[in-house]
Structure 1
C-alpha cells in the first residue's frame, strides 16, 4: 500500500534510545558472541531500522530512497579504496614498499622509531591529503620496520595512524578537510588555521609521548637480530634500490600539485606494475595482475609475508561492502528523522561554547558510529548543530574545527566504519587493539573540549564571515523557485 500521503511521525527520544541499544546489541552480539561477519550484522540493522520506519508510517520505497541516498553520499570513499587497493598490490610487487622498509631499518634508530613513524606518516599524509593512501604505503613500511625492531604491533599502528590523520585533518588536499569547510561555509584555509590551534599541540604532545615510550621500550638499543634478518630477506627477495622509490615520489608530486587523487593513485599503481616488470622479474601480465589480486610475495619471514601479502582491488572488496552497508544505516536513520530529533535535543542544550563543542563532536561521532563513514560524520556534525553557532554569533571556524575533532579523527576508532575496517585490514591490527595507542586522536578530542569550556581560541564572526553567510543565504534563496530573489536574478539575465 502506498502511504506517501500518510502523516509521518518523528521518532521519540525513547524510540531513538531503543534503536541505539538494539544497534549495539546486534553489532556486538553478532560479531563477538555469534562470530558473524560485520557485514551481516549491518544488514540485520537495516531491517531493524526499517521496522521502526514502518511503525512511523514511512513506506518501504521512501526508506529505500533514503538508504540509496546515504550510500551515494559516501561512494567517493569506495573509489579511493579501489585505487588504494591497486596501489598497495603493485607497490609491494614493484619493490616500492619493501625498499621503504629496508631503508627505514638501515636509517632509523629503534629508540626514536615510534616518533619517526608518526612524523613520516604525517608528512606523507600532509603532502598527499589521504590517510588511506598514507597508511597503505608509508604505514605498511612503518609496520614492517617496527615489528622488525620487536615493538608491539598495536603500538606501532597507533603511531602510524596518529601521523596519517594529521594530514587527513590538516592538508588542503584532503577531501574531508575541503568537504568540512564547504559544509560549514568556511574558507578552507581559515578552517585549517582554526584546526591548527588544536592539531599542532596534539601533534607535539603525541610525538613526545611516542618518543618517551620508544626510548623506554628500546633501552640499550634493543635486539636488532630480527631487523638484520628482515633486511637480508628483503634484499634476497626484491631488487632494493633508490630507483624503487620513484613511483612514490611521482605520486606525491602530482598530489602536491592538486591533481585529483583517484586518477593519481591509479596512475601510481600502474607505475608500480611497470616497476614490478622492469626490476622485480614479473611478466607484464602478471605485474598488471598485482593491481587486482595483490603481490603474493614470500620472503621466508612470517610477519613480513603477512604484511606484504596484501593489496589488490580484491583485498578491498570486503571493506567496500561493509562501507556500503554502513552508509545505508546512516541513510535510513536520516530518512526516519533520527538526525532531526538529535538536533532538536542539542539545540536546547548548546548554551555555551563548551556545550557547543560537546554537541558538535557527539553529532559527528554519531555519524561515524551509525553511518560508518567520515563523510556521514561531516554531514551530521554540520547539519545537526550549525544553527546553534549562528544563534550564539560564534565563528563557523569553530563549527568546522569541532566537526573534524568529533568525526574525522574518530573514524578509525569504530570497527565497522570505513576508516576502522580499512586500517585494521591494511595494517594487520584489530581496531580495538590499536585504539588505546591512537594518542593523537584522543589529544585532539581533549584539547578541543578544554578550549570549548575555557573559552580559548573561540572567535566571533568577523566581517568576512558575515558577508560569506549573506552570500550563502542568497544562493539558497536563489535556488528555491518562486522566491523574489529568483525572479530578480531571472529579470537581470533577461535585461
Structure 2
C-alpha cells in the first residue's frame, strides 16, 4: 500500500475526533480518559490506514514514543517509593506535626500557603501535600472559625507551587520530557512566571488573614488529636530531615533524579529501622505497595491520621503511567501519519512572533486538558504540536516546557471534572467557582498564563539557542519524526 500525505480534512478530523470523544465520554458519561485515548487512537489509526499506513508502521511509531517517555516513567515509579519511605521514616509526618504545632493563627492563610509550598517542594506531590498538610490546615481553620474557602485556596496555591517547581514532581518531569530539555533548566525557566504570581498570592493571603477576626484561641481538638497520634507512632529528631536534605542538595548540584531519589529512599528506610525501630521488610514492602500504619503500629489509628499517612508506593503511580502510555499511543499515530503537521500548519504559520506562539500554546494546552480531564495528555499533545515552531523561532525547548506548565499544572484545579479539580473538591470539601469557591482566591492559578504572555511581550526569560544548537535540535526532531 502506497503512503500519501494526509489531507487537511483528514488531519483535522483525527484531532477533533479526540477532542469530541474525550469531551463527550469523560464530561458527559464519566468514561475513564485512558479508554477514551485508546478509542481516539483507533480512530486516528483508521484514518492513517486510508493514507496507506499499516499497523506495523504505527506500532513502530508507538514503540519509539514510549522509549522517549521511559525516563519520566522511571522517575514516576521512584516518586512513589520516595513518598512511602519518607512516611516510613517519619520524615513527612514530622513536617505535618511541626506544621500544626508552629502555625500562627493570626496569619492562618499565609502560613498555610507557605507550609504547603515547602511540603510540596520537598515531596514533589501536590495531591500528597493537599491530602496531608492541606487536610490538617483545613482542620485548623475550622477550629479557629476561619473561612474554609480561602484556606482551601491557600492550600491549592501552595501545593501547586511546589508541584510545579519540585524535581520530584511527575508533571515537572513530564513537561521537559515532552519539550526536550533538562529538568533543572526547566525549573529555572519557570521562575520567570511562577515567582511573580506566587508573590501576589502571598500578598493576597496576608491581607485576607489580617482582615479575619479569629474566634478560636488555639489549635482545634482534631489537630491536637492528630499530633498526639503522630507522637504515639513516631519519635522526632532532626535526623528525620536527612532524606529531604539529600534530595535538595542533589537537586541544587544537578545530580540525576532517579539515583538521587533511590538513595534518599534507602536512607529513609535505614532511619525508619535504626531510629524508629521499624522492620526493614515492611520498609521495602511500603516502597512497592504503599505505606500503611498497620505496618509499623499495632494500636488503633484514627481514620483521619490513617488518611494522612496511608499512601505512596510504586503501585500508586500505575494510573499516571497508564495515562502516559495511552496518550503517547495516540500522539505517535497522529505524528507518524503527519496529521499534526498538516492540521496545525495554518495555526503555526500565523504564529509569527513569540507572543502569538505562546498564546496559541496556552490555549491549546488548556483545551486539551479540559477535554481530557488531565494535564498529562495535554502536555504530550501540545508539545508534539508546537515543538518545531519553537525551534524554528529560535526559542529554547525550556520556553515550551515552561509554557506547558503555566497552564497544564497551574490551571488544572479549575477543571471540576478533571482529576485535579475533583481531587481538591473531594479532599478539601470546597467548590471551585463563585466567591465561596477556592478558584477566585487562588491568584497564581490564573495569573501564571498572564505572566507567560507578559514575559513573552517584554522579552525577558525568552531563552535563545545558538545557531549550532538550533540546527542540532532541528536535526534531532527530523530524526525522531523519520524514526516514527
Give the structure-2-normalised TM-score: 0.76
Give CA-to-partner distance per residue, 1:72-120, whole Å, 9 cap, x none: 3322222122111111112212211111111111112245344334434
Name the stretch that deviates more: 157-166 or 260-269. Answer: 157-166
> Out of 240, 254, 259, which is 2:255 matched to?
259
Query: Shift of residue 166 of structure 1?
Result: 4.7
Q: Which residue of 1 aligns with 2:138?
A: 147
Q: Which residue of 2 aligns with 1:109?
A: 104
> Out of 248, 258, 266, which is 1:270 matched to?
266
Identify which of structures 1 and 2 has the higher relative contact order when contacts are C-alpha pairs closer than 8 Å and 6+ apart.
2
Cα pair 1:350 1:356 within 8 Å, conserved: yes
Q: Which residue of 2 aligns with 1:246?
A: 242
Whether 1:76 and 2:80 are equivalent positions in the alignment is no
- Map 1:93-132 → 2, pairs under 5 A: 93-120=88-115, 122=117
Report the aligned-residue RMSD.
4.3
Query: Shift of residue 297 of structure 1?
Result: 1.1
Give CA-to-partner distance per residue, 1:278-313, whole Å, 9 cap, x none: 233422212221111222116633232112111111
Residues 81 and 469 (structure 1), Cα distance of their counterparts in 2 relative to 1, 3 Å cut: same
Counterpart CA distance in 2 for 1:49 and 1:225 is: 56
Cα pair 1:46 1:332 within 8 Å, conserved: yes
> Out of 384, 387, 403, which is 1:383 matched to?
387
Counterpart CA distance in 1 for 2:164 and 2:278 is: 36
Q: Which runs of 5+ in 2 are unaligned?
A: 143-147, 295-299, 480-484
Q: Which residue of 2 aligns with 1:51?
A: 46
Residues 307 and 148 (structure 1), Cα distance of their counterparts in 2 relative to 1, 3 Å cut: same
- Map 1:150-161 → 2, pairs under 5 A: 150=142, 151=148, 154-155=152-153, 157-161=155-159
Q: Which residue of 2 aligns with 1:347?
A: 348
Cα pair 1:389 1:399 within 8 Å, conserved: no
Cα pair 1:38 1:416 within 8 Å, conserved: no
Q: Which residue of 1 aligns with 2:453?
A: 449
Counterpart CA distance in 1 for 2:397 and 2:319 is: 37
Query: Shift of residue 445 of structure 1?
Result: 0.6
Q: Which residue of 2 aligns with 1:485?
A: none
Query: Shift of residue 10 of structure 1?
Result: 3.8
Query: Shift of residue 52 of structure 1?
Result: 2.9
> Any idea what SS the aligned residue of 2:124 has?
helix
Query: Shift of residue 321 of structure 1?
Result: 2.0
> Any idea what SS the aligned residue of 1:258 has?
coil
Cα pair 1:89 1:311 within 8 Å, conserved: yes
Cα pair 1:180 1:404 within 8 Å, conserved: no
Q: Which residue of 1 aligns with 2:297?
A: none
Cα pair 1:292 1:314 within 8 Å, conserved: yes
> Any idea what SS the aligned residue of 1:240 has?
coil
Q: Which residue of 2 aligns with 1:231?
A: 227
Query: Shift of residue 158 of structure 1?
Result: 1.0
Counterpart CA distance in 2 for 1:367 and 1:157 is: 25
Give CA-to-partner distance per residue, 1:54-85, whole Å, 9 cap, x none: 23432222222222333333222221221111
Whether 1:198 and 2:207 are equivalent positions in the alignment is no
Cα pair 1:144 1:304 within 8 Å, conserved: no
